[in-house]
Amino acid sequence: MLKILQNRAFRHMFSAQIVALLGTGLSTVALGLLAYDLTGGDASMVLGAVFGIKMVAYVGIAPIAGAFAGFVPRRKLLVGLDCIRAVVACLLPFVGEVWQIFVLIFLMQAASAAFTPTFQATLPDILPEEKDYTRALSLSRLAYDMESIITPTLAALVLLVASYHELFYGTAIGFIGSGLLILSVALPKPKRDSKRRSIYERTTRGIKIYLKTPRLQGLLALCMVVASIGAMVLVNSVVLVQAVLGLDEIYLPFTIGAFGLGSMVMALILPRLLDVIPDRVAMLSGAGAMVLALSSLGVAAWTGLFVWGVMLVCWFLIGAGYSAVLTPSGRLLQRSSHEEDRPAIYAAQFALSHACWLTCYPLAGFLQTSFGVGVASLVLSVIGFVSLIIARQLWPAGAMRSPYHTHPDLPDNHPHLQDIDHAHGHAHIFVIDDHHMQWPHMKA
């Protein structure tokens, strides 16, 4: 897996991701302390609003950014967005009112909503070989998981010798380091769409293509599985550990760590696993494991068998399923897009997947607060199970990979989606904005 780090461009991009993630993690810790400093017992409400603002920025800004990503050199765009995030981080220590937090966080997350899809869309151009790209996705997943372990420790060390305000400066240093690393390499130029389109067409094009591609429809349903099950972990772990199980707060990092460990283990074995089994099988199996684990937790709660050990096993399985679904998703996006459409497709995935989280986060909190762990686990499991069934139906199985080809004889008013049977699989033809687009066949 580490062999791909010999690619200088990817090595610098991956390093940029790591330092940016560390900076973002420090800001998460610092924001919690800042909110408590300003509002005391109402800090949770402030943080809830901050998280809502983050999701709104992701859902609303990403498609717009994806529409214009092809008109700005990638390196300049990414470095500029890192500079914006660094400036905002430096302003946060001087905040004196809650509304100022909201404004600055929106600016930072709007920059992130433009940065992340553009960054992700660049990787398959740097690593055109699918095996290399798969390993890059696994490394990226590992980076996210390691950040969740390293950042709290790093923040604690900083707080031993300085105030939480210094954490924001650490965030800025992370973004500056990311920008410098990106600036040090030459990135492939995005291929421009030759057809002139209106602002509205460019903004909605990625989502239109995404929602008319069967395997991406299935991916979106799988994102709902991940969000519904993952929300239980990320929103309610602290309540389950301290309020329901009555354990000390020291148990919380180990509980979240079980989720991260499951994700890391799966990320390590996925590259070899995907060499022998189709993406569809791996992703549907991972989603099924998530649903099974959370429903088992709900049953344990109903039967009086809910103990910390059971929770750790369930969180580990959910983490493994989480990685099994999300890690290969970049391959689906790569296979489902022409080069000129790739930034828009990745932006659509970013926005639509976060819309799932925007729905499931408050629902998980409401169910746990109002009805308890048993009802919350089973209701979210049902949502995940239904989404899994939908994903299985939407994502066709058995399609083989074949070269691109076009159908110039099709009329301009041809339906947006048509399945054509071939001797070796199915061709999915999409007509978007009167432009015939033929996606490659692929191993499901």
What domain range includes position 134? 1-190
Note whether 437 and 343 are same-domain residues. yes
Note whether 38 and 130 are same-domain residues. yes
Contact 403, 361 (CB under 8 A): no
Note whether 259 and 165 are same-domain residues. no
The count of domains in the chain is 2
Note whether 181 and 166 are same-domain residues. yes
Across all residues in the chain, what is the average pLDDT? 80
Final residue before a domain boundary, out of 155, 190, 225: 190
Note whether 132 and 217 are same-domain residues. no
Q: Which residue has the higher pLDDT, 40 or 298?
A: 298
Q: What pLDDT sits at residue 80?
A: 93
Note whether 166 and 242 are same-domain residues. no
Q: What pLDDT sits at residue 248?
A: 81
Mapped to the 3 state alphabet, what secondary structure does the chain carry?
Answer: CHHHHHCHHHHHHHHHHHHHHHHHHHHHHHHHHHHHHHHHHHHHHHHHHHHHHHHHHHHHHHHHHHHHHHHCCHHHHHHHHHHHHHHHHHHHHHCCCHHHHHHHHHHHHHHHHHHHHHHHHHHHHHCCCHHHHHHHHHHHHHHHHHHHHHHHHHHHHHHHHCCCHHHHHHHHHHHHHHHHHHHCCCCCCCCCCCCCCCHHHHHHHHHHHHHCCHHHHHHHHHHHHHHHHHHHHHHHHHHHHHHHCCCCCCHHHHHHHHHHHHHHHHHHHHHHHCCCCCHHHHHHHHHHHHHHHHHHHHHHHHCCCCCHHHHHHHHHHHHHHHHHHHCCHHHHHHHCCCHHHHHHHHHHHHHHHHHHHHHHHHHHHHHHHHHCHHHHHHHHHHHHHHHHHHHHHHCCCCCCCECCCCCCCCCCCCCCEEEEEECCEEEEEEEECCEEEECCECCC
Final residue before a domain boundary, out of 172, 190, 208: 190
Say if residue 322's pLDDT is above 70.
Answer: yes
pLDDT tens per residue across span 113-136 = 888 888 877 888 888 887 887 788
pLDDT tens per residue across span 185-221 = 888 776 655 566 655 566 677 788 888 889 999 999 9
Say if residue 37's pLDDT is above 90.
Answer: no
Closest CA to 218 of 364, 374, 336, 56: 336
Note whether 222 and 207 are same-domain residues. yes
Q: What pLDDT sits at residue 79?
A: 93
Note whether 99 and 227 are same-domain residues. no
Percent of the chain with pLDDT over 90: 31
Note whether 243 and 385 are same-domain residues. yes
Note whether 117 and 204 are same-domain residues. no
Q: What pLDDT sits at residue 414?
A: 32
67: CATH: 1.20.1250.20
Final residue before a domain boundary, out of 174, 190, 206: 190
Note whether 296 and 230 are same-domain residues. yes
Please report, for residues 214, 288, 357, the alpha-carbon distance to residue 392 in angstroms, rounded to integers and kept in the order given. 10, 11, 20
Q: Name which of 85-94, 203-212, 334-343, 378-387 the model is least confident about.
A: 334-343
Residues 6+ apart with CB under 8 A from 239: 368
Note whether 10 and 135 are same-domain residues. yes
